[in-house]
Amino acid sequence: MYQFAVSFTVRAERRADFIAEALRDARGSLATEPGCLRFDVLVDPDDPLVFYLNEAYVDEAAVELHRAGENFQRFIKAVSEYADGPTRRFTGTTVEAQLSQ
């Protein structure tokens, strides 16, 4: 399993727009991308303008399919107008996945 988290800092007046787009991306990815196992949209407890996307996929190939897909492309196009990011927070393959290879 391949996991990563990225962060976005959003302009205050577009916070609701970001939330709507991030949730649309998350829900769409989970519903239509078989390789997407988890997609959480989190808000920083100390800064309501900082959001984290915590995602898990079956492998790196599934991540590439996600990035090329409609859900991600729509999301990144929309939020690039009013959000700084994505900033990579962590990336990795689970130890269990590495041991099974």
Give the chain's domain count.
Answer: 1
Give residues with Cβ within 8 angstroms of 21, minimum separation 6.
Answer: 74, 75, 78, 79
Percent of the chain with pLDDT over 70: 97
pLDDT, one tens digit per residue, over 28-87 is 999 999 999 999 999 999 999 999 999 999 999 999 999 999 999 999 999 999 999 888
Domain harbouring 57, CATH code = 3.30.70.100
Identify any residues that bridge with 57 across adjacent strands, giving them in sequence order.
Answer: 2, 36
d(CA 83, CA 71): 17
For 11-34, the pLDDT digits (tens) are: 999 999 999 999 999 999 999 999
Domain that holds residue 54: 2-99
Measure the CA–CA gap between 82 and 97, rounded to whole angstroms: 36
> What is this structure's pTM?
0.89
DSSP symbol at 32: H
